[in-house]
Amino acid sequence: MVLDKGMGLGETRDLLDLAGGYVDLIKISFGSSALYPPEVLRRKLALIREYGVGTCPGGTLLEVALFQGVLDRYLGWAEKCGFTWLEVSDGTIEMPQTARSTCIRLAVRHGFRVVSEVGKKDSHQRLDPAGVGRQARSDLDEGAVKVIVEARESGRGVGIYGDDGQVKHDDLEEIVSFLPDPRVIMWEAPLKNQQEALIRRFGPNVNLGNIQPGEVIALESLRVGLRSDTLKTCLPKKEGER
């Protein structure tokens, strides 16, 4: 999942021609899709669809719509724009479980593939791994196809990452212990050390999110062992090395 903070049409086509085969989903970040000239947004989403790649607005936009009590109009708007996925999150607002369930089910009924997001954007709220694991499981039961674990654009001091951006492995393991299959999770992982750690833990096909457009090919190199950091683990160890 690529985090798109405002690619123009030319840059979008460049990315798709070069690396579209390595991308499942492009997230038009935050509420920014509401700020595009409508015709530019329509053409951009149509272009991405041509390459078989999914698109969704950032979860913040749904949170605004929900807070304003216009969820139905939001779903209609997203459909008309040409989005094919929808994100359901509560990163900023408080959302009771019943509202969350309703959002997921309604979006599924509208024909969207739904990703839910778990975890708060606020770095002062410590992650509750068991709560995240249970929420993920519940979202899948409601119809979500994947669950994103929040890490923002920075990847520091949020979710499963410490202030230094390192993975907190105990938290990560506790989250997946609640799930039948860890592949239902899409880990936001904007930093290279995070991508590397998650590839080592879950294998080269792990779902990673908040990837910058210019990093897609570099990440694919990391996945398949064509970059030093993962290549060296394929090599025979020398004596004395662990």
The residue among 64 and 145 lying less far from its own copies, judged by its C-beta, is: 64
The residue among 53 and 216 lying less far from its own copies, judged by its C-beta, is: 216
Least distance to its own copies from the beta carbon of 22, Å? Answer: 7
- Residue 139's closest CA among 111, 102, 164, 170? 102
The residue among 101 and 193 lying less far from its own copies, judged by its C-beta, is: 193
The residue among 130 and 226 lying less far from its own copies, judged by its C-beta, is: 226
Least distance to its own copies from the beta carbon of 191, Å? Answer: 11
The residue among 35 and 130 lying less far from its own copies, judged by its C-beta, is: 35
Least distance to its own copies from the beta carbon of 133, Å? Answer: 23
Least distance to its own copies from the beta carbon of 207, Å? Answer: 18
Least distance to its own copies from the beta carbon of 147, Å? Answer: 19
Least distance to its own copies from the beta carbon of 130, Å? Answer: 22
SS3 sequence, the chain? CEEECCCCHHHHHHHHHHHHHHCCEEEECCCHHHHCCHHHHHHHHHHHHHCCCEEEECHHHHHHHHHCCCHHHHHHHHHHHCCCEEEECCCCCCCCHHHHHHHHHHHHHCCCEEEEEECCCCCCCCCCHHHHHHHHHHHHHHCCCEEEECCCCCCCCECCECCCCCECHHHHHHHHHCCCCHHHEEEECCCHHHHHHHHHHHCCCCEEECECHHHHHHHHHHHCCCCHHHHHHHCCCCCCCC
Chain residues that interact with its own copies, rule: CB under 8 A: 5-11, 13-15, 17-19, 21-22, 29-32, 34-37, 40, 60-61, 63-64, 67, 91-94, 121-122, 214-218, 220-221, 224-228, 231-232, 235, 238
- Which tokens sit at 2? 């690529």
Least distance to its own copies from the beta carbon of 237, Å? Answer: 11
The residue among 80 and 232 lying less far from its own copies, judged by its C-beta, is: 232
The residue among 91 and 133 lying less far from its own copies, judged by its C-beta, is: 91
Rounded to an integer, what distance in angstroms lies between the CA atom of residue 147 and that of residue 89?
A: 10
